[in-house]
């Protein structure tokens, strides 16, 4: 493709994206396709001759779009907000267009230095002190794995330089809760802790936050057994119910026991742009590492996960590689981000954050986050004020966990009823929410926070919920009557 052909196709593509975003509300939220149907619409062999760009766009529209669950849709209330602000999309396009290679400072000095600056901007915007230095990882999962690898090496006096964990006699233990994201367990397993050494600390039955008393007891017990308490992962906004572990108390325990504390704020980190929310992660300054995803609620397009540490030298000691072909004369003066994580080659991710912060601006982002908090609070009040409805967990941010609990249904019937009404909404394509288990029973998470979701959308969701609930009750009634006959 020549530069001129690119220019022409690029204009067409941008127009196509702008139209797509403008018309998104007309589409079903959940992809209305069966497994394998997208694949079956694609040729089984690669094209031998070039495809015309117009034809390419047509295929994008006809084959790809139907296979997308529209997480940018204002009626998307599932999982978590995965906003992709158009300002950040432009930054992502710029990053692709520049075609940079981030393997060393020398391979793209701007890549490293824009990243240093935007990570520091984000540090300031979230009220973190100057002790924190950051980088951008692809995801919070990678950031957590990286943190746990460093924790493991610190606790084992750098066992990687000897026989690794395999040669160690003591067991290295990791602490989190059942509420923590599945990536924490996965990272623990990948970092070599072993399932037997993962501890799930009891949580408060109401707030679902880690109990510091239980944490202390587990650590003492492990020490008595000759184990080495190595790392704690505290959730600042857990996935299911947005629980906030008490970081200040946990940090005290971590410091007393020389245990690494990683704060996983993947979803809720965005809230820390709001000074009024920062009490929720009080004590974070005493952690060892923090990660959170601007690619969620804040809206910098995937993938963009911030990872902060206060002792980069430890991270570098564990992650550093220094092959001769990557050396340059300025190495002692510059940051080599390949030593801050697992990959060697890195994308110019900082551009999307830079564009997002510069073109939209922090104040507009803060206003939107406050709108979502307000919508969640109003929605929760509406649910609570309605007979037979429960808000099951305190609403800390923008996720509301709800259940319709009509009298006379046993647990099994209630589970069936919950899944029936939520699935019928999801299947209809009118809105999307995530059913999830809480204390062994189904409930529904309503996660508010798509960029285009207004209060009117939340109100229409509530109307939709009430309709589908009534419909399921009627269906059940019909079934019962038929059974009696
Ligand atoms: C609390 C929490 N931690 C970690 C993750 C994993 O994030 P990522 O997809 O960036 O790995 C999520 C994703 O939903 C999350 O909610």
Please name the residue whose Cα sits nearest to atom 12 of ligand 1: 266
Global pTM reads 0.95
Residue 181 near ligand 1, beta carbon < 6 Å: yes
Cβ proximity of 31 and 67 under 8 Å: yes
The residue with tokens 């990053």 is 95
| Ligand 1 pocket mutation, candidates 267, 269, 300, 303, criterion most atoms within 8 A of CB | 267
Residue 141 near ligand 1, beta carbon < 6 Å: yes
pLDDT score at 481: 54
Residue 266 near ligand 1, beta carbon < 6 Å: yes
Residue 139 near ligand 1, beta carbon < 6 Å: yes
| Ligand 1 pocket mutation, candidates 78, 80, 140, criterion most atoms within 8 A of CB | 140
What residues contact 417, with CB distance under 8 A and at least 6 apart?
404, 406, 409, 469, 472, 473, 476
DSSP state of 171: P
Q: In whole angstroms, what is the distance from residue 240 CA to residue 181 CA? A: 8
Cβ proximity of 238 and 200 under 8 Å: no
| Ligand 1 pocket mutation, candidates 71, 141, 449, criterion most atoms within 8 A of CB | 141
pLDDT score at 359: 98
Ordered DSSP codes for 235-275: EBS-TTT--B--HHHHHHHHHHTT-EEEEE-TTGGGGGGSG
Residue 140 near ligand 1, beta carbon < 6 Å: yes
C-alpha to C-alpha distances, 192 to 27, 94, 155, nearest whole angstrom: 44, 38, 13
Say how many Å lie between the CA of residue 438 and the centre of ligand 1. 18
pLDDT score at 245: 98
Beta strand 399-404 with 441-447 is antiparallel
Long-range contact pairs involving 17-21 (C-beta distance under 8 Å, separation at least 24)? 17/89, 20/65, 21/72, 21/86
Cβ proximity of 160 and 318 under 8 Å: yes
Peptide bond into 303 cis (omega under 30): yes
What residues contact 170, with CB distance under 8 A and at least 6 apart?
226, 227, 228
Listing from the earlier edge strand, what are the strands of the sheet with 305-309? Answer: 133-137, 305-309, 289-292, 260-264, 228-235, 172-176, 198-200
Walk along the chain (485 residues) and give the pLDDT tens digit of each residue.
999 999 999 999 999 999 999 999 999 999 999 999 999 999 999 999 999 999 999 999 999 999 999 999 999 999 999 999 999 999 999 999 999 999 999 999 999 999 999 999 999 999 999 999 999 999 999 999 999 999 999 999 999 999 999 999 999 999 999 999 999 999 999 999 999 999 999 999 999 999 999 999 999 999 999 999 999 999 999 999 999 999 999 999 999 999 999 999 999 999 999 999 999 999 999 999 999 999 999 999 999 999 999 999 999 999 998 899 999 999 999 999 999 999 999 999 999 999 999 999 999 999 999 999 999 999 999 999 999 999 999 999 999 999 999 998 999 999 999 999 999 999 999 999 999 999 999 999 999 999 999 999 999 999 999 999 999 999 887 555 554 55
pLDDT score at 358: 98
Ordered DSSP codes for 265-306: -TTGGGGGGSGGGGGGGTTGGGSSEEEE-TTTTT-PPSS-EE
Burial of 452 (0-12, 13-18, 19+ CB in 10 A): middle
Please name the residue whose Cα sits nearest to atom 14 of ligand 1: 239
Cβ proximity of 403 and 413 under 8 Å: no
Say how many Å lie between the CA of residue 383 and the centre of ligand 1. 27
Say how many Å lie between the CA of residue 323 and the centre of ligand 1. 33
Residue 239 near ligand 1, beta carbon < 6 Å: yes
Residue 80 near ligand 1, beta carbon < 6 Å: yes
Minimum-distance ligand 1 atom for the alpha carbon of 239 = 16
Cβ proximity of 122 and 306 under 8 Å: yes
Alpha carbons within 13 angstroms on the beta-carbon side of residue 103 total 13
Is 308 strand, coil or helix?
strand
């Amino acid at each position: 493709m020549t530069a001129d052909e690119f220019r022409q196709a690029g204009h067409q593509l941008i127009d196509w994206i702008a139209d797509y975003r403008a018309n998104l509300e007309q589409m079903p939220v959940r992809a209305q396709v069966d497994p394998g149907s997208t694949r079956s619409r694609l040729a089984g062999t690669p094209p031998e001759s070039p495809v015309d760009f117009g034809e390419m766009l047509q295929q994008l529209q006809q084959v790809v779009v139907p296979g997308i669950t529209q997480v940018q849709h204002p009626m998307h209330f599932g999982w978590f907000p995965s906003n992709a602000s158009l300002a950040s999309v432009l930054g992502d396009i710029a990053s692709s267009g520049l075609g940079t290679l981030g393997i060393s400072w020398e391979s793209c000095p701007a890549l490293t230095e824009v990243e240093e600056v935007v990570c520091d901007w984000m540090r300031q915007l979230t009220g973190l002190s100057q002790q924190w230095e950051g980088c951008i990882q692809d995801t919070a999962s990678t950031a957590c794995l990286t943190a746990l690898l460093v924790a493991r090496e610190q606790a084992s006096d750098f066992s990687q330089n000897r026989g690794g964990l395999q040669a160690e006699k003591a067991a290295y233990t990791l602490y989190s809760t059942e509420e923590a994201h599945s990536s924490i367990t996965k990272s623990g397993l990948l970092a070599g802790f072993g399932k037997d050494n993962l501890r799930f600390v009891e949580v408060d039955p109401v707030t679902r936050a880690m109990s510091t008393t239980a944490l202390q007891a587990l650590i003492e017990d492990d020490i008595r057994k000759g184990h080495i308490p190595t790392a704690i992962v505290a959730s600042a906004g857990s996935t299911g119910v947005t629980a906030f572990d008490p970081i200040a108390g946990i940090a005290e325990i971590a410091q007393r026991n020389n245990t690494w504390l990683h704060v996983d704020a993947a979803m809720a980190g965005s809230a820390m742009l709001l000074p009024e929310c920062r009490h929720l992660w009080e004590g974070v300054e005493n952690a060892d590492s923090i990660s959170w995803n601007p690619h969620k609620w804040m809206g910098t397009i995937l993938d963009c996960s911030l990872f902060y540490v206060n002792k980069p030298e430890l991270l570098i000691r564990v992650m550093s590689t220094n092959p001769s072909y990557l050396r340059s004369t300025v190495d002692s003066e510059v940051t080599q981000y390949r030593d801050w994580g697992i990959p060697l080659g890195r994308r110019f991710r900082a551009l999307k954050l830079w564009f997002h912060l510069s073109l939209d601006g922090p104040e507009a982002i803060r206003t939107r986050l406050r709108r979502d908090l307000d919508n969640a609070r109003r929605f929760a009040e509406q649910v609570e004020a309605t007979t037979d409805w429960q808000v099951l967990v305190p609403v800390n941010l923008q996720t509301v966990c709800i259940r319709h609990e009509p009298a006379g249904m046993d647990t099994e019937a209630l589970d069936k009823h919950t899944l029936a009404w939520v699935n019928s909404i999801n299947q209809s394509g009118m809105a999307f929410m995530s059913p999830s288990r809480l204390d062994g029973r189904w409930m529904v998470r309503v996660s508010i926070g798509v960029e285009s979701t207004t209060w009117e959308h939340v109100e229409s969701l509530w109307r939709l919920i009430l309709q589908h609930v009534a419909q399921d009750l009627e269906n059940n009634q019909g079934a019962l009557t038929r059974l009696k006959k």
